[in-house]
Amino acid sequence: MTMPVLELRDVSRTHGHDDALVRALDHVSLAVAAGEFVAVMGPSGSGKSTLLNLAGGLDAPSSGDVVVEGNRLGGLTRSSLAQLRRRSIGYVFQNLNLIPSLTAAENVMLPRELDGVPIRRARREALAALAEVSMADLADRFPDDMSGGQQQRVAIARAVVGDRRLILADEPTGALDSNTGEGVLRLLRTRCDSGAAAVLVTHDARHAGWADRVVFLRDGATIDETPPLDVPEALLAGGRTP
């Protein structure tokens, strides 16, 4: 097997000490290959968001290793970690974090500009990413002049802009109606089909249905996962009796 884009090796994250020790994540191992779309499902408090924060280098494990494209995050300097986060990882979190004083296009361009991409090219990439979420027309609008759903789509464009190899999404369809939400998942799916790796944490089974593999988390540990999917031709036949 080729090197996974993301690998969690026996990762634990604890808070507090002794009697008050909380195991947010308990010896979790997970590998996500290029082209693979993995959904992580579990009830609230099961460690889903912790897993995603660790995978994205926004939090550090208490033990174990997080490896992104062969880089052990714990072994990187702060600046190389920041660079890896900007270049390789796209985030769509529940909290959108759009900058209110920047237009949609500027918000999407920002991570590319920070990375030294020339403005003209960054803008071109941003417009392409906005077009993928059907937001090209609103590229010059400010977040306050957009609906919640439109803001969400800008945040998604920002997550996928450029050549991100790893996309991390935490309930990314929160503010969207079901059609637009489906569009977001289809976009993640398309990104994976063209070689990116994605991890989606969700408690919505319908969203998890888009993934190649669904991992179930409970009390900080993985308890089960769905077996690999068959080739598309064999669909419904091997499923369940309706």
Partner 1 sequence: MSVRFGLLTLLEEQPMYGYQLRQEFESTTGSTWPLNVGQVYTTLTRLERDGLVEITAEGDEAQRVYSITGAGHDEVQAWFATPVRHQSPPRDELAIKLALAVRSPGVDVRAVIQAQRTATVRALQEYTRAREAAANDLSWLLVADSLIFAAEAEVRWLDHCETRLVRHPKPSTPISDPQSVPVREAAKR
Please list the alpha-helical segments (H only) found in the chain: 48-55, 78-88, 104-114, 119-132, 148-160, 178-193, 205-208
CA distance 13 to 220: 9
Nearer to partner 1, 62 or 226 (CB): 226
Query: Considering the complex, what minimum distance in angstroms separates the CB of residue 242 from partner 1?
Result: 6
* Sole window of 4-12, 73-81, 114-122, 220-228 interacting with partner 1 (rule: CB under 8 A): 220-228
DSSP letter at 134? T
Q: Which of the residues 221 through 240 are near partner 1 (CB under 8 A)?
A: 223-227, 229-230, 232, 235-236, 238-240
Closer to partner 1 by Cβ: residue 121 or 186 = 186
Q: Between residue 26 and residue 45, which ones bind partner 1 under the rule CB under 8 A?
A: 41, 43
Minimum distance, C-beta of residue 33 to partner 1, in the bound complex (Å): 17
* Residue 120: CB atoms within 10 Å: 8
8 Å CB contact between 159 and 184: no
Cα–Cα dist 26/124, whole Å: 43
Contact 155, 175 (CB under 8 A): no
Shortest Cβ distance from residue 214 to partner 1 (Å)? 5
Q: Which among 211, 100, 69, 97 has a CA at the least distance from the CA of 158?
A: 97
**Tokens at 188, concatenated:** 């993640």
Which amino acid belongs to residue 192?
C
Asked if 134 is part of the footprint of partner 1 (rule: CB under 8 A), the reply reads no
**Minimum distance of partner 1 from residue 43's CB (angstroms):** 7
| Options 16-24, 58-66, 111-119, 210-218: segment touching partner 1 (CB under 8 A) | 210-218
Measured from the CB atom, the residue of 50 and 222 that comes closer to partner 1 is 222
Which one of 27-35, 84-92, 139-147, 199-207 is the stretch in contact with partner 1 (CB under 8 A)? 199-207
Task: Give the count of residues interacting with partner 1 (CB under 8 A).
Answer: 29
Q: Which two tokens stand for residue 165?
A: 């190899």
Q: Which of 84, 105, 169, 208 binds partner 1 (CB under 8 A)?
A: 208
**In the complex, least distance from residue 133 CB atom to partner 1, rounded to whole angstroms:** 18
Burial of 238 from C-beta contacts in 10 A (0-12 / 13-18 / 19+): exposed
DSSP label at 214? E
List the interface residues with partner 1, window 149-188 (CB under 8 A).
Answer: 186
User: Which residues bind to partner 1, rule: CB under 8 A?
Assistant: 41, 43, 186, 189, 203-206, 208-212, 214, 216, 223-227, 229-230, 232, 235-236, 238-240, 242
